[in-house]
Amino acid sequence: MSDLFASDLFETAPEDIALDPGAMLLAGFARAEAESLLQDVAAIARAAPFRHLVTPGGWTMSVAMTNCGALGWVSDRSGYRYDRLDPESGQPWPAMPPSFLDLAQRAAARAGFADFTPDACLVNRYVPGARLTLHQDRNERRLEAPIVSASLGLPATFLWGGLARADKPRRLRLVHGDVVVWGGPARMTFHGVDTLRDGDHPMTGAVRYNLTFRQAGDRT
């Protein structure tokens, strides 16, 4: 779809919102390239289909996941880890599309993190009812690198907590095209996604996608 949606006429210009030291919401940052990002998501999913991973505790996740890039995030009964191979196919994950890498590097730089070279992109797919409980991202080797997270499709309520699990999370609405970058003092912030509400997005229907870029391995 390349039409100008009527709603676009009423949307505001992209803007940068500081969340905490080291954390920034780049509202609307990826909106202009969303359509090509979604085409790339579809191509990735043809090579490495979305699947519902099982947590080490034995729960099946409501969010469906796949990956692209040199490393992919996976979970099973033995734990969480990054792996070079898709456990479903035994093949390497699809390559990271240039559009993804470009977006991640520009967003990181805008938030103050130069030289971000992500080697992993986790692609999350939410349907109404799916949620992600509060967690820290701690399986990456290089915690000095930030994380860049782009939202596409249906809006979601992002839970933005603190450095302790008990810190009461703020509720942030993330809409299509929003990008969150966090690193430095905010790198270990607890975060999650509240239960996705039903809706119908012009580009994705009743789905929200999230692309999360990390530098997960040792820098080569």
Does 215 contact ligand MD6 by CB under 6 A? Answer: no
124 binds, among Fe ion, ligand MD6, none (CB under 5 to 8 A by kind): ligand MD6
**Torsion sign, CA atoms 92, 94, 100, 101:** positive
Longest CA pairwise span in the chain (Å): 49
Nearer to Fe ion, 86 or 137 (CB): 137
Q: In this chain, which of 137, 161, 169, 178 binds ligand MD6, going by CB under 6 A?
A: 137
Pairing of strands 170-174, 72-76: unpaired
Which tokens sit at 188? 């270990």
CB of 110 to ligand MD6, least distance (A): 16
DSSP states of 85-154: B-TTTSSBPPPPPHHHHHHHHHHHHHTT-TT----EEEEEEE-TT--EEEE-----S-TTS-EEEEEEES
CA distance 156 to 148: 17
Place of tokens 């809006």: 155
**x/- letters, 94..123, toward ligand MD6 (CB under 6 A):** ------------------------------
Nearer to ligand MD6, 66 or 149 (CB): 149
> Nearest CA to 121 among 25, 31, 210?
210
Nearer to ligand MD6, 48 or 180 (CB): 180
Q: In this chain, which of 86, 137, 140, 178 binds Fe ion, going by CB under 5 A?
A: 137
CB of 23 to Fe ion, least distance (A): 13
Q: In this chain, which of 105, 149, 204, 215 binds ligand MD6, going by CB under 6 A?
A: 149
Does 124 contact ligand MD6 by CB under 6 A? Answer: yes
Positions that interact with ligand MD6 (CB under 6 A):
124, 132, 137, 147, 149, 180, 191, 193, 210, 212
